[in-house]
Amino acid sequence: MGERPHPQLAHVASAEGIGVAERLAGHAVEPLNYDRVPSATYCRPETAGVGLTEAEARRRGHDVRVGRFNFGALAKPRILGHPEGFVKVVSEPKYDEVLGIHVVGPHATDLISEACVALRLEATTEEIFRTVHPHPTLPETLMQAAEDVHGLAIDA
């Protein structure tokens, strides 16, 4: 009682089911961190997010820094004919840790997987933007949104 409701998503149910099976088999099981469960909406443009929103991070007492990058500034979204949308990175300045990443745009539901790994590994925005991303690709938007947290986005 008193806990927030868990997201009613297939991938959450799958992760919970695997955890139950592992526990029944006698394995140590790490509790599922519901803050790191991705959401994905299959519409046009697609939307996806993982981690804390800017508002939720502030509500929890974090000092917040935000980076944002528009898809239309890069070649690949224009090549695909879908330059609409953006990536938003929510981080905190003390350790530069990424708290959340939110995407609205082409293939957002695929791009969010990189963000899930970043949050799982407690990545910093600098670690994301220092990771070489291939060009021209959609994931460059995540890299440049991380750069924007520090005012360094090249294609902004």
Return the pLDDT at 2: 46
Active site residue 135: yes
Number of domains in the chain: 2
Identify whether 154 is part of a domain. no
Return the pLDDT at 11: 74
What six digits make up the tokens of 156?
């902004």
Q: What is the pLDDT along the chain (156 residues), one digit of tens a residue?
A: 445 666 777 777 777 778 788 888 999 988 888 889 999 999 999 999 999 999 999 999 999 999 999 999 999 999 999 999 999 999 999 999 999 999 999 999 999 999 999 999 999 999 999 999 999 999 999 999 999 999 999 887
Range of the domain at 84: 38-149
The rounded distance, in Å, linking the Cα atoms of 73 and 95 is 29
Single out the catalytic residue among 11, 107, 135, 150.
135
Left (φ > 0), alpha (ψ -120 to 50) or beta: where does 150 sit?
Answer: alpha
Same structural domain for residues 28 and 86?
no
What six digits make up the tokens of 117?
């790994």
Q: Is the peptide bond before 136 cis (omega within 30 degrees of 0)?
A: yes
Return the pLDDT at 4: 61
The rounded distance, in Å, linking the Cα atoms of 102 and 45 is 13
